[in-house]
Structure 1
Amino acid sequence: MKTATNNGSNRLIGLFIDIKNLLKGKVLIANVFPVFTAFWLAIYFEGEQFGDYIGLFSLTLIGSTLVISGALMLNNWFEVDLDQNMDRTQKRPTVSGNFSLKAVLWAGILTTIIGLAIMLFTTPEALLYSFLGWFVYVVLYTFWSKRRYTWNTLIGSVSGAFTPLIGWAAIAPANHIVPITLFVILLIWQVPHTLAITIRRLEDYTRAGVPMLPVVRGVQVAMMHHLVYIIALLPLPFLLIEPLGWVFFVIAILLTIGWMIQAVKGFQAKDQKKWAQTSLRFSLIYLILLFLLMVILTI
């Protein structure tokens, strides 16, 4: 009896791990967090109370999470041949065979449809941004550009940048300096973040034949692009001084400068993979602190 119970528990744990790997756990969280942040900020700047919007908040978060999850599943389904040649993706259930490709395809389609259906009960604008984010990631990035062009990274970045627009538009039209600036921040941030991953896993992408910038034009060129995009983040906190204040501005500038310094160190790094791993962590710290600070300052 005890052995059967343990086996059942192990299978359940294994299932959860497979689902986490299928949905690229950290990627899912990194996309949903800006939805929450922008929703919160929209309530603050519209002078509303969060407690009055619990139902709408639940619909927005659940709907957007399902749409994003659907996109990630379809990405895994389509890229299984690439993932089979990459060390970092060997635990994905599409590679291990724990989930059939047909099941993943249908799960991705149905999850997307359910997510968009839920977003129908928010606002038309939030629904539009949800669909556009999905369309850019699945069709323009996964199906069209990733296997063809080095600038596939920028197209993928456009998809992720829609997330704060979704959260804000659930409350009010997103023609406001805050959600627009958040869109631009995420658009720019994702490029050096992704380049750090690519440099860290250069052999993987080379073996899989994915035309990422470091694979096609070399690590030094990729590192230069990595630095340029981080520098491009520097002016953006100026746009948020009035709505979010000087405390946010100073901390945001310091975080950007710190990331810039770390990026410059890469050109003298003896171990570029180790440097890329550090830059990857710094990019995540930058994003989490930046968005968390926005929430804290508006409580």
Structure 2
Amino acid sequence: MKKIKIIFAGTGKFSSVHLNELILKKFKISTIITKIDKKIGRGKKIKFSEVKKTAINNHLPFIQTNSLNSEEYYTILKKKKPDIMIIVSFGLIIPEKIINIFPLGCINIHTSLLPKFRGPSPIQSAILLGKKKTGITIIQINNKLDTGDILYKKSINIEKKETYDTLKKKLSILGKKSLIKFLKNIFLKKYIPIKQIENQATYTKKIYKKDGLINWNQNASEIEKKIRAFNSWPGTFFFIKNIMIKIWKANIIKSIKKNIPGKIIQANKNGISISTKNHLINITELQFAGKKKNKVYNIIHSYKKLFEIGQIII
């Protein structure tokens, strides 16, 4: 059987998991494409993408760019005579001219059961909406966002206390296994492209750090899901006496008594309980800005005055 020549495009850790699996399974990677290094912090420290690290560690050729629109990249990729392009968490639009280079097309691994949750935040959205299932969909790339024909789909359960981090890890394992299974059978024509049903499509939005601010006027269940969906990025947070506090873990305490949303009801070794529109959110693990995260029972005595019972958090 012919060995497939692959161009791989991706950036983050989720992407590097799939690239590492391709390398482990001895697939032929002609070139890797990843985004340009980021400068972070005041010292302008350079941050390599996880995919670039994988390329360097495995002595594989790579290209760094924040756009594939120039004729230069078309020429470089065409000369490689690749069979397929695999895109995983890349974040850049692939021009149609480049898509047409590949005899087997360009495929993308998306972390939802398409056409549900198209767009940039499918994992967070599934948790926010309390869905019981999500999954991996491999699609043929076209010139629109996440609308290509479905080539392979596999579902997975979302557990009751699932966070963004835990679900993303499970989906990365499912994704890499699905990708290998798909590629091993690609020449056997076992995969018949299936058109997505447009009237079943839903879309997700880009999430920003500011979206993590807690609104205590929401129901406790909505806040609890948000804490899990945004764990670990962008994180959920609130301000008390101008101090930003990030929430890592919390649970719901049902309350018969109606309280003003944002009121601190109790603060002890069992947690910091804050009223919402209906019940209480009990924070058991938190983090002060610039410090490490900590269990409430470890720090509550030192910060008793900060979390005064009866205080209202806006």
Greater fraction helix: 1
Q: Radius of gyration: which is bigger?
A: 2
Q: What TM-score do you get using the length of structure 2 for normalisation? A: 0.30
Q: What TM-score do you get using the length of structure 1 for normalisation? A: 0.31
Greater fraction strand: 2
- Structure ranking higher on relative contact order (CA contacts 8 Å, 6+ apart): 1
